[in-house]
Structure 1
Amino acid sequence: MENIQLIGLIMVIVGSFLPLLHIPIIGNWNYWKIDYYLASTCWILSALALFSIINSKPKLARNMAILMVLLFSFTLFAIRYESSSYFSFLPFQSWKDTFSSIVQIKWGWIVEFFGAFIIILATKK
């Protein structure tokens, strides 16, 4: 089971460098361009998960993976909130919605979440 958990951990680490967000004209952003502190937290959680996988502590690995899923969910919520509040100066709600929808979530999040879920599901009970 450790090998499967390591594959999930590699997916999380590689996923932090994949395109997670697309902003027109600016381009694709990975986790490091979205927010340095959130990316650092992701890597710290990944390092703790690696430590727990190597030392055969499945409960700690599962907890780190759950914290990663919560971190990814928080990041997605923060992206949506920030993009909608960034255009709060516009007078009409339809304009705000239109302009905030140009920020698009990309396919890298699938890799991030899938890697964390692999760690959770591969943990022995």
Structure 2
Amino acid sequence: MYLLNKIYALLGITIVAVSSVVCPFIKVPLMGNWNLYQTDVMLFCITFGILSLLVMFFFIRKIQLFRMGAYLLLAWSILAFLGVYFKINNYFGLKLVDGMLAKTLHLKWGWLVFFIGVFVVLFSVRKVKEIQ
């Protein structure tokens, strides 16, 4: 049996949602800081799709589905981070140009806040030992 800490679940969902809109994820020269939407629209849409599933599971009280959705959010966040990182380092496929691009584009602190929110959502569900 699983127990959902509702305050932590809502706090984590809020942190992920707000950080992906407000926090800087990449620093682009001459353009400034980009949030997740400016970084890649599909990453943003899929992230908010997973968050909307988590909110739906929260309100219909399906804790097992919420737990699986939290693991899906974690896997998607890691995949999104790796995708952005490798896209920065291998954009053109030319070693010289990619090296210069990787030195000018920098990952920012928004990823840290994003992952903190993901881990708060993940740890809001815990297993309860049943007493016999």
TM-score class, shorter: 0.7 to 0.9
More strand by share: 2
Native 8 Å contact 2:8 2:124 kept in 1: yes
Counterpart of 2:66 (choices 52, 61, 64) is 61
1:119 corresponds to 2:121: yes
TM-score computed with the length of structure 1 as normaliser: 0.86
Please state whether the residue corresponding to 2:33 is helix, strand or coil: strand
Counterpart of 2:105 (choices 96, 103, 106) is 103
How many residue pairs get aligned? The number is 122
Q: How does 1:1-125 map to 2 (within 5 A)?
A: 1-17=5-21, 18-90=23-95, 92=96, 96-125=98-127
For structure 1, the 5+ residue unaligned runs are none
Native 8 Å contact 1:87 1:100 kept in 2: no
Please state whether the residue corresponding to 2:90 is helix, strand or coil: helix
Structure 1 residue 28 displacement after superposition: 0.8
Please state whether the residue corresponding to 1:101 is helix, strand or coil: helix
Letter in 2 for 1:108: G
Using the alignment, how far apart are the partners of 1:110 and 1:28 within structure 2? 15
Percent identical: 25
Letter in 2 for 1:54: F
Structure 1 residue 24 displacement after superposition: 1.4
TM-score computed with the length of structure 2 as normaliser: 0.82
Using the alignment, how far apart are the partners of 1:59 and 1:47 within structure 2? 16
Using the alignment, how far apart are the partners of 1:96 and 1:33 within structure 2? 20
Letter in 1 for 2:63: P
Structure 1 residue 98 displacement after superposition: 4.5
Using the alignment, how far apart are the partners of 1:83 and 1:115 within structure 2? 24
